[in-house]
Chains A and B, each alone.
Chain A
Amino acid sequence: MLRREGEIRIPSGCAIAGIINRQGERFDGSAIIASIANMHQRSNGLGGGFAAYGIYQEYKDYFALHIYYDDETARQLTENYLNQNFRIVVNEMLPLRPLRRIVDAPLIWRYFVTPREEKLMVSHLSEDDFIFKAVMWINDCVRGAFVASSGKNMGAFKGVGYPEDIGEFFRLEEYHAYLWTAHGRFPTNTPGWWGGAHPFTLLNWSVVHNGEISSYSTNRRFLEMYGYRCSLQTDTEVIAYTFDFLMRKQQLTLEETLDVIAAPFWTTIQKEAQARLRRQYGALLLNGPFSIIVATDHGLVAVNDRIKLRPLVAATRGSYLYVASEESAIRVVAPVVEKVWTPGGGEPVVGLLKDKEGLIAMPDQQSRSA
């Protein structure tokens, strides 16, 4: 007999985890897999994924594209486009480990590319914007193809399954990164498909997210005016594009960006600068319950919505900073830590590489907190 709505209860709620070695020392993917696997019950097998920074030392000057295809036609269309616009130095299938628990995987290809000089010159775009346009074009215009990651010396590995299985499927123990983030998914409002798994990425940005962005349509309409195409059917996509827009294109600081996405309430706003940002970029306020980890090649920031409707814990041990939805996910890889704490709503946890600290002023810890 068919089970009816309400007869089955799955008490899940997404899981996020991140580990950075602030000295830039690289470590393999087994720790982040163990961390996210500890929160197995927060996912339901409909999505898992990882972002890893520092994994492609040999090709660190090239953009690493991870592209997922439904079929060979989509691949040919995409590769024709890539060939016209990019010099492709490596073109290969991503090494995978077939697992019985991972089914219906798309064709997953990896390319190391650099824009063709003549194309770049006539486009009047920066390298980053050239890649940005290519990613948007593939995601929007090639049926059955989407770009899972497009940064330098980093990659996203994601799909439908429990995160620990996805990690095994992508052989993450063979990669070495100084920064890993991970996600276990429990899709609620949108389909559980390979493109909808986290992290969501663009250039070097990646985002893993627990919660929902109620302001998705508002955010999306604003971003679309600047050429962003939201084609992956999940709210989290707008977070990645918001960070790219505010920090790369508008050159806002991390502090200012946080004042936009987790702006204080009008009743509690203290600084005129915060109020100005809220007026200017009000359409990029991320409303709704969330805890997110945003990463770039410089480091990571983890932050909650203003009234903290999702869990988040952070801990430090030596050069390592850990963040996760649950403390147990940190303790499983670092039983003894120096400091463990739960940040308040809107209060960022920032972990930057030691030599990049000067690039981003440390945000004020409490001005957004409720």
Chain B
Amino acid sequence: MTVIDAGQYDQAALLEVLANVNEPEIEVVHVNGQRYLGCGWKNRKKLILRGTAGNNLGAFAEGPHIVLYGNGQEGVGNTMSEGLIVVHGRVGDIAGYGMRGGALYIRDNAGYRLGIHMKAYLQKQPVIVVGGRAGAFTGEYMAGGTIIILGLNDDNRPLVGPWCGTGMYSGAIYLRGEVPYEHLAPNTTCQVLQADELEPIMDYLQRYAEYFDYDIEKILSQPFTRITTVNKRLYKHMYTGFVS
């Protein structure tokens, strides 16, 4: 495994050095704000990062396994289509923006606009799991995939901010524990899940527990609510001229 000290390079040089490492596993230490790490990577490499990763970590990624020991900033997993990003910390705004495949696991909180414009097609089924809570506009314009918010940090603030699921027309958002109904968009509908209905997300929950060494029983100790959408074509009246 190659170990690289991010402090030794400027932004452009670091990306170039990383792109030219021909080993399956790379560790980067002293990361502090460098952008575009793992961005656009089309490979199966494992990238281990220590520090605070800069904007667009793993953006457009197609396959790499990125593990960040520290916090992410804006745009983590932006438009990624394959691979796995595991953040041992929190992330900023627009994490998983337009995500179309792969998985994003965040140990703590996520910022505003988590998973907006997320989409899915056939075997491309993106998933975001957040251990803490997320800000406003979570899943806005969501068109597919899965967002799971666990609220494990117990800080008495709502699991998601206002306008959750606004303009959403497909996919599902799962909230663990108390649902802030006043923050859900009017086109959404909620269903509290029975124990045997957790099957679609069980694998994701177990992975969260495994990645962050968390007790799965604790995760399962609260009920889950699934948020899906009522109306598939929300804005048809705006572009068809008449309501059919």
Binding site for B on A (CB under 8 A): 38-39, 41, 268, 307-308, 311, 313, 326-329, 331-332, 340, 342, 344-345, 369-370
Are A311 and B162 in contact (CB-based, < 8 A)? no
Are A307 and B54 in contact (CB-based, < 8 A)? no
Are B163 and A370 in contact (CB-based, < 8 A)? yes
Are A326 and B73 in contact (CB-based, < 8 A)? yes
The answer for the CA separation of A326 and B93 in the assembled complex, in Å, is 11
The answer for the CA separation of A342 and B93 in the assembled complex, in Å, is 9
Are A38 and B33 in contact (CB-based, < 8 A)? yes
The answer for the CA separation of A41 and B34 in the assembled complex, in Å, is 10
The answer for the CA separation of A345 and B113 in the assembled complex, in Å, is 12
The answer for the CA separation of A326 and B111 in the assembled complex, in Å, is 13
Identify 7 residue pairs between A and B in the complex whose beta-carbon atoms are under 8 Å apart, listed by A's number: A39-B33, A41-B11, A313-B92, A326-B55, A328-B54, A331-B51, A342-B90
Asked if B161 is at the interface (CB within 8 A of a chain A CB), the reply is yes
Q: Which residue of B lies closest to A308 (CB)?
A: B112
Are B161 and A370 in contact (CB-based, < 8 A)? yes
Are A345 and B136 in contact (CB-based, < 8 A)? yes
Are B33 and A328 in contact (CB-based, < 8 A)? yes
Which of B11, B52, B71, B73 has the largest count of A CB atoms less than 10 A from its CB? B52
Which of A307, A311, A331 touches B92 (beta carbons < 8 Å)? A311
Known: A268-B162, A331-B32. A311 touches B73 (CB 8 A): yes
Are B93 and A308 in contact (CB-based, < 8 A)? yes
**Those 5 A-B pairs whose CB atoms lie nearest each other, nearest first:** A328-B33, A328-B32, A328-B52, A308-B112, A370-B136
The answer for the CA separation of A342 and B111 in the assembled complex, in Å, is 8
The answer for the CA separation of A369 and B71 in the assembled complex, in Å, is 23
- A326: B residues at CB distance < 8 A: 33, 54-55, 73
The answer for the CA separation of A340 and B111 in the assembled complex, in Å, is 13
The answer for the CA separation of A10 and B230 in the assembled complex, in Å, is 41
- A327: B residues at CB distance < 8 A: 33, 52, 71, 73, 92
- B11: A residues at CB distance < 8 A: 41
Asked if B74 is at the interface (CB within 8 A of a chain A CB), the reply is yes
With contacts defined as CB atoms under 8 Å apart, how many contacts are there between chain A and chain B in the complex? 57
Q: Which of B34-55 contact A (CB under 8 A)?
A: 35, 51-52, 54-55
Which of A39, A41, A311, A328 touches B93 (beta carbons < 8 Å)? A311
6 more contacts with CB within 8 A, not counting A38-B33, A307-B112, A344-B161, are: A308-B93, A308-B112, A311-B73, A326-B33, A327-B52, A344-B112
Q: Which residue of A lies closest to B91 (CB)?
A: A342
Q: Nearest chain A CB to B143's CB is how many angstroms away?
A: 21
Asked if B139 is at the interface (CB within 8 A of a chain A CB), the reply is no
Are A344 and B135 in contact (CB-based, < 8 A)? yes
Residue interface mask B50-68, A partner, CB < 8 A = 1: 0110110000000000000
The answer for the CA separation of A328 and B11 in the assembled complex, in Å, is 13
The answer for the CA separation of A313 and B71 in the assembled complex, in Å, is 12
Which of B32, B92, B109, B163 has the largest count of A CB atoms less than 10 A from its CB? B32
The answer for the CA separation of A182 and B71 in the assembled complex, in Å, is 23
- A313: B residues at CB distance < 8 A: 92
Residue interface mask B18-30, A partner, CB < 8 A = 1: 0000000000000
The answer for the CA separation of A331 and B70 in the assembled complex, in Å, is 11
Are B92 and A342 in contact (CB-based, < 8 A)? yes
Q: Nearest chain B CB to A56's CB is how many angstroms away?
A: 33
Are B52 and A308 in contact (CB-based, < 8 A)? no
The answer for the CA separation of A123 and B111 in the assembled complex, in Å, is 52
- A268: B residues at CB distance < 8 A: 162
The answer for the CA separation of A344 and B33 in the assembled complex, in Å, is 21
Q: Nearest chain B CB to A120's CB is how many angstroms away?
A: 49
Which of A331, A342, A345, A369 touches B52 (beta carbons < 8 Å)? A331
Q: Nearest chain A CB to B95's CB is how many angstroms away?
A: 12
Q: Which of B60-110 contact A (CB under 8 A)?
A: 71, 73-74, 90, 92-93, 109
Are A340 and B71 in contact (CB-based, < 8 A)? yes
- A345: B residues at CB distance < 8 A: 112, 136
- A308: B residues at CB distance < 8 A: 93, 111-112, 135-136
Q: Nearest chain A CB to B51's CB is how many angstroms away?
A: 7
Which of B73, B112, B137, B163 touches A328 (beta carbons < 8 Å)? B73
Q: Which residue of A lies closest to B113 (CB)?
A: A308
- B52: A residues at CB distance < 8 A: 327-328, 331
- B137: A residues at CB distance < 8 A: 307
Are B73 and A344 in contact (CB-based, < 8 A)? no
